[in-house]
Homo-oligomer: A and B are copies of this chain.
Amino acid sequence: MAEKIYRVNMTTLTVSAEDVPREWAALGGRGLTSTIVAKEVKPDCHPLGKYNKLVFAPGMLTGTACANSGRLSAGGKSPLTGTIKESNAGGSAAQCLARLGVKAIIIEGLPQKDSFYSLHVDKNGITIAEETELIGKGNYAVIKAVRKRRGDKVGVLSIGPAGEMKMALANISVRDPEGNMRSHGRGGMGALMGSKKIKYISIDDAGAPGVAIADPEKFKEASRVFAKCLLDHPVTGQGLKTYGTNILVNILHEAGGLPTQNFRTGRFDGHDKISGETMHDTIVERGGKPSHGCHAGCIIQCSQVYNNKKGAYLTSGFEYETIWGFGAGCCIDDLDAIAQADHMMDDIGIDTIESAVTVGVAMEAGIIAFGDGKGMLGLLKEIGKGSHLGRLLGAGAAALGKAYGLTRVPVVKGQGIPAYDPRSVKGMGITYATSTMGADHTAGYSTATNILKVGGFVDPLKKEGQVELSRNLQIATALIDSTGLCLFVAFAVLDKPEAFNAIVDMVNAKYGSSITGDDGIALGKSVLKLERAFNTEAGFTKTHDRLPEFFEELCPPHNVVWDFTNKEIDSFWDF
């Protein structure tokens, strides 16, 4: 069965299946969502209005046996930033969609009635049903109910109360194989799904045709090489499995790049209490799972299941950036409080990074004190309730900062800056400034080369080489985000040329094509450029490629400042 583009019209409540246009045939993931958004969405439209579209697309390799290829891209105009947005997530939805031959789902229009709906995708296509029972419910309840309705293997994409309320920090949750959650976290895509009045999408791949592979033998061989590269690399084969991403707390603390107390310093006294090492021991002690994959076929296994003191499940997919944000960022040295926050945020359906940065700004505003873990949980509760305070917070860090007249508001293009201080991990600063989607560490993870010495070394405290580093990483990331591969494969790819070649070989084996590595790089470049072009039409200029003024302040312990000239930053786009 040939792949199809499904178009869901929420105004007429109808679905159509279209053949895949030739120019989209070789695209997937971010490359496809950004292409569709750039072509079909009015760049100056209101993100929550009828002209915006929500596009889901599995990656080019998703649904195959390739390791770590189960990522799903969600695209649209961001309700948080107003830029183009692609947010990708693990979980089981992407693989179900790919096996069903769903190249992309394009959700458009707004319902005429004030009701919520659900979508169901299976081998017969997509159906729309009105939803009442689950409205107002958290994601855990939604996933549980949908499993009950549709069976235990069903993939689920859902929004919590925050998405229903169209809050700019709302995310889209994705069921993982065990029934917990991963997220399309950043950019407020949950608000976009909420504006379309879709509470959840269930995906049943029973009887699915599966993914066609033009040259199965060649694919198998390349896939084997690729998996071996991942397993052999110290970061993807060992580090991430043992400590998860949270291995970074101590590393960034040591490097002086762990943003502490709303970006006042680069080291946090309480780092030991929230570190990956402490977390690992705590998980083991309480009978949780220190390593765990977010989708079938993941061999990196950076996720984990974190139990509470009584040994019962508390949260999973508990990431460094979340722990940094509430830990160092908000000066809360209590891992259990942060785990509880992670559970609440998954349930309410809000991005943990934007939420953490927002709580840091709330502390800056004096709403609660730095270090107040109980107060922090109280704020998250308000977001879930949609109280006045919750609405203040739910619009994100930039909006909260404006409401309180603050200047120490760590955002770029309206999106909160994550867990790496741009003054002391300067390559990240270039990524935050220039990313087409606002401050986003995953857009070009210069930390790899600045701090982890993967793919060489560029001194994090010096300007030299950072623009080029971020540019190369952003181009490569745009490509990886298009393949459906987890971004963490980049650690192996940066150090092992054969890993990159294996990806190219798998793509060729799947599509019967003969692209080269250079073609892949060209694709990465073209994705960045079409995203940039959308943003230009949406009203963004180089003036938005800037970090907040307060990064002129010294960041201890290295006492460095953000010292790039505008010209240096703007040279990022010279390609």
The chain A residues found within 8 Å of chain B, CB to CB, are 43-46, 48-51, 79, 165-168, 191, 194-195, 367, 387-389, 391-392, 394-395, 399, 402-407, 536-541, 543-544, 546, 548-550
Given known pairs A537-B543, A543-B43, A543-B539, the reply for A395 and B388 (CB within 8 Å) is no
Contacts of A405 in B (CB 8 A): 48, 79, 165-168, 191, 194-195
Contacts of A537 in B (CB 8 A): 543
Minimal Cβ-Cβ distance residue in B for A192: B405
Which of these, B51, B191, B399, contacts A549 with CB under 8 Å? B51
Judge whether A404 and B392 touch: CB under 8 Å.
no
Minimal Cβ-Cβ distance residue in B for A367: B388
Contacts of A391 in B (CB 8 A): 392, 403-404
Judge whether A539 and B548 touch: CB under 8 Å.
no
Given contacts A165-B404, A168-B405, 12 further A-B contacts (CB under 8 A): A49-B407, A51-B549, A79-B405, A166-B404, A167-B403, A191-B405, A195-B405, A392-B392, A392-B403, A394-B403, A395-B399, A399-B402
State A405–B550 Cα separation when bound (angstroms).
Answer: 29
Q: What is the total number of copies of this protein in its complex?
A: 2
Most buried by B among A391, A536, A538, A546: A391
State A403–B538 Cα separation when bound (angstroms).
Answer: 20
Q: Closest Cβ of chain B: how far from A137's Cβ, in Å?
A: 18
Minimal Cβ-Cβ distance residue in B for A546: B44
Contacts of A167 in B (CB 8 A): 403, 405
State A442–B49 Cα separation when bound (angstroms).
Answer: 30
State A351–B537 Cα separation when bound (angstroms).
Answer: 32
Judge whether A402 and B539 touch: CB under 8 Å.
no
Judge whether A549 and B43 touch: CB under 8 Å.
no
Most buried by B among A195, A387, A394, A405: A405
Given known pairs A392-B391, A392-B392, the reply for A44 and B403 (CB within 8 Å) is no
Contacts of A395 in B (CB 8 A): 399, 402-403
Judge whether B402 and A168 touch: CB under 8 Å.
yes
State A538–B542 Cα separation when bound (angstroms).
Answer: 10
State A46–B550 Cα separation when bound (angstroms).
Answer: 9
Minimal Cβ-Cβ distance residue in B for A395: B403
Q: Closest Cβ of chain B: how far from A568's Cβ, in Å?
A: 15
Q: Closest Cβ of chain B: how far from A235's Cβ, in Å?
A: 37
Closest A-B pairs by Cβ, 3 of them = A166-B405, A539-B543, A388-B389
Judge whether A46 and B549 touch: CB under 8 Å.
yes
Please list 10 pairs of residues, one from A and one from B, whose beta carbons are closer than 8 Å in the complex, sorted by A's number. A46-B548, A51-B549, A165-B405, A167-B405, A194-B405, A195-B405, A388-B389, A392-B403, A399-B399, A538-B543
State A333–B324 Cα separation when bound (angstroms).
Answer: 53
Most buried by B among A44, A537, A544: A44
State A406–B166 Cα separation when bound (angstroms).
Answer: 8
Q: Closest Cβ of chain B: how far from A570's Cβ, in Å?
A: 13
Which of these, B48, B399, B539, B546, contacts A541 with CB under 8 Å? B539
Judge whether B388 and A46 touch: CB under 8 Å.
no
State A281–B464 Cα separation when bound (angstroms).
Answer: 74
State A540–B550 Cα separation when bound (angstroms).
Answer: 22
Minimal Cβ-Cβ distance residue in B for A382: B388
Contacts of A367 in B (CB 8 A): 388
State A407–B110 Cα separation when bound (angstroms).
Answer: 12
Contacts of A550 in B (CB 8 A): 49
Q: Closest Cβ of chain B: how far from A101's Cβ, in Å?
A: 34
State A143–B454 Cα separation when bound (angstroms).
Answer: 65
Contacts of A402 in B (CB 8 A): 168, 395, 399
Contacts of A546 in B (CB 8 A): 44
Contacts of A404 in B (CB 8 A): 165-166, 391
Q: Closest Cβ of chain B: how far from A161's Cβ, in Å?
A: 12
Contacts of A540 in B (CB 8 A): 539
Which of these, B79, B165, B195, B392, contacts A388 with CB under 8 Å? B392
Minimal Cβ-Cβ distance residue in B for A405: B166
Minimal Cβ-Cβ distance residue in B for A165: B405
